[in-house]
Amino acid sequence: MNARHCELAIVGGGLVGMALAFGLRGLGSRLAVLDEDDRARRASRGNFGLVWVQGKGMGMPGYASWTQRSAREWPRLAADLAQETGIDVALRQPGGLHLCMSRDELDRRVALFDRLFAQPGFERYDLDVLDHAGVARRVAGLGPDVAGGTYAPCDGDCNPLALFRALHQAVGRAGCRYRPDSAVESLEPRGTAFRLRTRQGIVTASRVVLAAGLGNARLAPMVGLAAPVTPNKGQILVLERVPKFLSLPIETLRQTDDGTVLIGDSQQAGGSDRWLDPAIMAAMAARAVAALPQLAGARVVRAWAALRVMSPDSFPIYDASRAHPGAFVATCHSGVTLAAVHAHVLAPAIAAGRVADECRPYSADRFDVRAAA
Ligand SMILES: Cc1cc2nc3c(=O)[nH]c(=O)nc-3n(C[C@H](O)[C@H](O)[C@H](O)COP(=O)(O)OP(=O)(O)OC[C@H]3O[C@@H](n4cnc5c(N)ncnc54)[C@H](O)[C@@H]3O)c2cc1C
């Protein structure tokens, strides 16, 4: 098959790859996104849809700033997507709640924020610590077992499937080429370009961005990068639609724009399967009913498990290859939340041939891994 050339190839059409493609859509047909087929394991189709700030950044204060910046950039992303595609991604940022089911849990939550905010360089945001009555003022029908919680005005959520569809449509309308069923099997630096062997033949590109989620672990060393990511399983329960009762997202429970209630999300490191675990689902359901007893009567209509893309310290990996200039990697576990900075900050920096200054702390050099030269 003849080699096809593009100026920039993004490997992976999940939320990270498509947010970057959106930010680079000015390249038009000079940009290609090479993706797997519909059987691919995609975190982007199984996530909870939070645009979330509170609690993040322990051990890396810059990550809290990066996340807050994305939350601030999100309204522009949502507006641009609506204008270019007509798709409303249902962004709302009314603030978000984290619930604590015992006094002890609340004390630990407060201690966590004391440590988080005390980190040098931490960009502080507003946070209210609420007792039971304080939470009840924000959530009708609160269960008596809720001891309290934390509320941050910067938190919110969106419809992540609408986001995914809107990014794909906008990138397509800009004339960029999306190639499904084009899993990249190997990647080879060739002089000043890269040669990508895909299921559909050879593609050459002057620059390449690895945004293949869990697939980055295998691909990155081929261009002198490292992405030691592993799967972390999360499960989500979907309840039937009920009349609107929740006006803001709770970190593990939210009502979507169409009235569906989602309960999630669990965290299981290591597992690479997507089997549902009944014991974990039962625990999630019990905790949700304790928080909001009215949910006891709602039917579960669906459940799924999906795999997060997790680095060893849970923070993103953004890197440019020193051995092979023009090759980049981008991966993270909060691709919904970070979609706006990926599109607005990281993508323009990559277009200029570097990672954004704010992204420099996220090089894989921080792990004890040596990328192949
Ligand atoms: C249960 C759960 C809940 C979550 N909740 C939230 C949340 O509330 N808020 C939030 O911000 N984030 C959340 N996330 C995380 C978010 O979904 C991910 O950060 C995001 O989807 C990662 O996108 P990605 O593009 O890196 O990976 P993926 O979605 O996995 O996409 C990777 C893409 O690369 C392709 N690919 C892989 N290998 C190759 C190859 N060799 N060649 C070509 N293509 C390849 C795959 O087919 C896929 O399309 C959640 C995740 C899970 C699992």
The pLDDT of residue 369 is 64
Q: What is the pLDDT of residue 371?
A: 53
Identify residue 79 by its one-letter amino acid code.
Answer: A
359 Cβ partners below 8 Å, 6+ apart? 66, 316, 318, 345, 346, 349
283-301 average pLDDT score: 95
Structure token pair of residue 295:
């949910």
Report CA(158)–ligand 1 centroid distance (Å): 16
What rounded mean pLDDT belongs to the chain? 95
Q: How far is the CA of 106 from the centre of ligand 1 (A)?
A: 31
* Helix, strand, coil percentages for the chain (3-state, nearest 5): 35, 25, 40
What's the pLDDT band for 3 if we cut at 50, 70, 90? low
Q: What is the mean pLDDT of residues 265-283?
A: 85
Quick check: CB of 158 below 6 Å from ligand 1?
no
d(CA 163, CA 144): 36
pLDDT in tens, 13-50: 999 999 999 999 999 999 999 999 988 878 999 999 99
- pLDDT confidence band for 373 (50 / 70 / 90): very low
How confident is the model over 40-61, as pLDDT tens digits?
878 999 999 999 999 999 999 9
Look at residue 323 and tell me whether its pLDDT is greater than 90: yes
Residue 70 class from Cβ within 10 Å (0-12 exposed, 13-18 middle, 19+ buried)?
buried
**Per-residue pLDDT band at 353 (split at 50, 70, 90):** very high
Question: Is residue 301 over pLDDT 90?
Answer: yes
Query: Using N-to-C axis directions, what is the helix angle for 160-173 and 61-85, rounded to 10°?
Result: 60
| pLDDT reported for residue 60 | 96
For 361-369, what is the mean pLDDT?
89
Question: What is the average per-residue pLDDT within 201-223?
Answer: 97
Contact 333, 12 (CB under 8 A): no
- How sure is the predictor about 368, in pLDDT bands with cuts at 50, 70 and 90? confident
In sequence order, what are the residues at sequence separation of 6 or more whose Cβ sits closer than 8 angstroms to the Cβ of residue 284? 235, 237, 252, 263, 264, 266
For 132, other C-beta atoms within 10 Å of its C-beta total 17
pLDDT score, position 274 = 74
Asked if residue 106 lies in contact with residue 257, where contact means CB atoms within 8 angstroms, the answer is no
Q: How far is the CA of 317 from the centre of ligand 1 (A)?
A: 14
Average pLDDT over residues 300-329: 96
Atom of ligand 1 nearest to the CA of 305: 1
pLDDT of residue 370: 56
- Candidates 10, 20, 200, 334: which one to mutate for ligand 1, based on the most atoms within 8 Å of Cβ? 334
Whole-number Å distance, alpha carbon 29 to ligand 1 midpoint, is 24
Tell me the C-alpha distance between 254 and 246, whole Å: 7
Helices 15-23 and 160-173 pack at an angle, to 10 degrees, of 40
Over residues 326-334, the mean pLDDT reads 97
pLDDT band at 273 (very low <50, low <70, confident <90, very high): confident
Burial letters for 108-123: b for 16+ Cβ neighbours within 10 Å, e otherwise? ebeeebeebeeeeebe
Q: Encode pLDDT of 53-108 as tens digits.
A: 999 999 999 999 999 999 999 999 999 999 999 999 999 999 999 999 999 999 99
Residue 2: its pLDDT value, please? 43
Please check the confidence at residue 252 and state whether its pLDDT lies above 80: yes
Q: Is the pLDDT of residue 1 over 50?
A: no
* Long-range pairs of 287-290 with CB within 8 A, sequence gap ≥ 24: 287/101, 287/252, 288/237, 288/252, 288/253, 288/263, 289/143, 290/101, 290/143, 290/145, 290/146
Tell me the two tokens of residue 257.
Answer: 């724009």
